[in-house]
Amino acid sequence: MPHRRFTVDGLALTAEPAAAGLHVVATPIGNLGDITLRAVRTLAGVDAVAAEDTRHTWRLLSHYGIEATMLRYDEHGAAARRPRILARLEAGGSIALVSDAGTPLVSDPGYRLVREAREAGIAVHAVPGPSAPVAALSVAGLPTDAFLFAGFLPAKSGARRSRLAELAAVPATLALFEAPHRLAEALADCAATLGGEREAAVARELTKRFETVVRGSLAELAARYADDPARGEVVILVAPLAGPAPVEETDVDALLVAALARLPASAAAAEVSKATGLNRRELYRRALGLKA
């Protein structure tokens, strides 16, 4: 493939042949301006682009003036099409894997292709970029030191509540995808299973014209969207259970003194440890010091 020059938003780019192997390319989740320059060059330089919906991806490629051979790779036909894609890669070809929006493999069938490519010794290249769960976390104002992406919840309420019960004690912010027509029901099940007081956020139409992020308790959000159905792509975020508040040194001593008035040192230390989460042995030594 010869080098080809083209212009993107006033920037002159050169498309060179991409390296052999599978290129996992993140694409915009809404705003087309969010694509990276490396992603544009890669899409223009590979032998073919494997996409969930070729019509959807064709619109993206057309926007940037990219001409590419398109291969359909979606959940329904993945098993049948995967061997043909792997055969092209084993022959030294270069193929870009894209999803309809965001980073491939996040709630789509791409991981099987990546896994089999690696097992066959084929190079797999990451071309990172937009991701809806990460975008939602970045603007919601909920804890981000640890988070769990749990994909789409089951469509039926019983199965949905069972899945939420499995996630209830996870010590991280939960990131969930949900269809807009099921949002109110899903939030109601979240409130019933995880606790209506838990802080949460609903991020809708991220990066698009009508982007909204609404934060509140699960009970408040369930009530809001029961009266005002959502439209567009939705990410639900649920904050982790609040842990015990930090205990000051003087508060620990006060708790131990009160417990020692009723209990021996070992039992007092156990009681205060259970209430504060502090180390029982350390509290026992502290209790002995207070008694002395």
Are 143 and 171 within one domain?
yes
Q: What is residue 85's predicted lDDT score, i.e. its pLDDT?
A: 96
Q: What is residue 289's predicted lDDT score, i.e. its pLDDT?
A: 86
Are 175 and 71 within one domain?
no
- pTM for the structure as a whole: 0.77
Asked whether residue 137 is domain-assigned, the answer is: yes
Are 286 and 195 within one domain?
no
Using an 8 Å Cβ cutoff, are 116 and 109 in contact? no
Which residue segment(s) compose the domain that 201 sits in? Answer: 133-238
Take residue 1 and report the two structure tokens written for it. Answer: 């493939």
Residues in the chain where the model's pLDDT stays below 50: none
Q: What is residue 278's predicted lDDT score, i.e. its pLDDT?
A: 83
Q: What is residue 3's predicted lDDT score, i.e. its pLDDT?
A: 58
> How far is residue 78 CA from its own chain's centroid?
23
Are 138 and 122 within one domain?
no
Summarised one tens digit per residue, pLDDT across range 155-203 is 999 999 999 999 998 999 999 999 999 999 999 999 999 999 999 999 9
Are 152 and 200 within one domain?
yes
Q: What is residue 193's predicted lDDT score, i.e. its pLDDT?
A: 93
Q: What is residue 75's predicted lDDT score, i.e. its pLDDT?
A: 84
Q: Tell me the one-letter amino acid at 243.
A: G
Which strand (E) or helix (H) includes residue 94? strand 94-98
Q: What is residue 243's predicted lDDT score, i.e. its pLDDT?
A: 59
Counting the structural domains of the chain, the total is 3
Q: What is residue 229's predicted lDDT score, i.e. its pLDDT?
A: 82
Task: Look up residue 179 and give its DSSP letter.
Answer: -
Asked whether residue 43 is domain-assigned, the answer is: yes
Asked whether residue 243 is domain-assigned, the answer is: no
Are 125 and 8 within one domain?
yes
> What are the two backbone dihedrals, phi and then psi, of residue 175, each rounded to the nearest 5 degrees?
-120, 120
